[in-house]
Amino acid sequence: MITDYRRVMALVPKVDLSTSDDGDHTQLAHAVDEALTRGGFLQVVGHGIPQATIDDMLHVLYLVFNEDYAGTSGPELVRSDLSAEAIRPARIVHRLSPDDSEVTGLLSLMLLTDARRPARMGPDGAAREW
C-alpha cells in the first residue's frame, strides 16, 4: 500500500516555493497553474517552514486528538469533533510533506485510533473495561 502511495505521489506535480526568492512570482504562478490544469493536484515543496514549527504543530494536533478519547473535562467521554479537527490539518500537513515519516506516522496513528473508536465504547456510551 505504501509503495502504491509513493508511486501515485511521484506522478503528482511538485511546486517548489524555494525557487521564488527573487520576488518575481511569475514562474511560481505558472507552475501552480500548470499543475492544477494537468490534474487538479499539486505537492508543495521548499515551503521554508522550520522543522521545529512543524514538530510543534504536530504535537498540538496530537494533544487535541487525544482529548477526543481521553477527555480531561466535560460530560462527554468521547469528543469525535476534536479528533476530526485534529485529523483534518494533519492530512493537509501530510499532503504538503508526504515524505516526512513523522507526519505520516502521526496521521496513521490518528486514523487507526479513530477507526477503533466504536470498539472502545459499549452500547451505553461508556468506556469498555478490558
Residues 34 and 79 in one domain: no
Residue 3's pLDDT is 53
Residues 114 and 58 in one domain: yes
Residues 76 and 39 in one domain: no
Residues 99 and 40 in one domain: no
Residue 4's pLDDT is 61
Residues 10 and 54 in one domain: no
Residues 59 and 117 in one domain: yes
Count up the domains in the chain and report the number: 2
Residues 123 and 103 in one domain: yes
Under a CB-based contact definition with an 8 Å cutoff, are residues 106 and 62 in contact? yes
Residue 1's pLDDT is 46
Residues 22 and 75 in one domain: no
In 3D, which of 60, 37, 57, 35 has the Cα closest to residue 45?
Answer: 35
Cα atoms found within 13 Å of the Cα of residue 22, Cβ hemisphere only: 6
Average pLDDT along the chain, 130 residues, taken 10 residues at a time: 60 73 72 77 72 83 78 63 86 82 89 83 70
CB atoms < 10 A from the CB of 120, how many?
13
Domain span holding position 122: 49-130
Residues 63 and 44 in one domain: no
C-alpha distances in Å from residue 32, one per residue of 7, 37, 98: 21, 8, 18
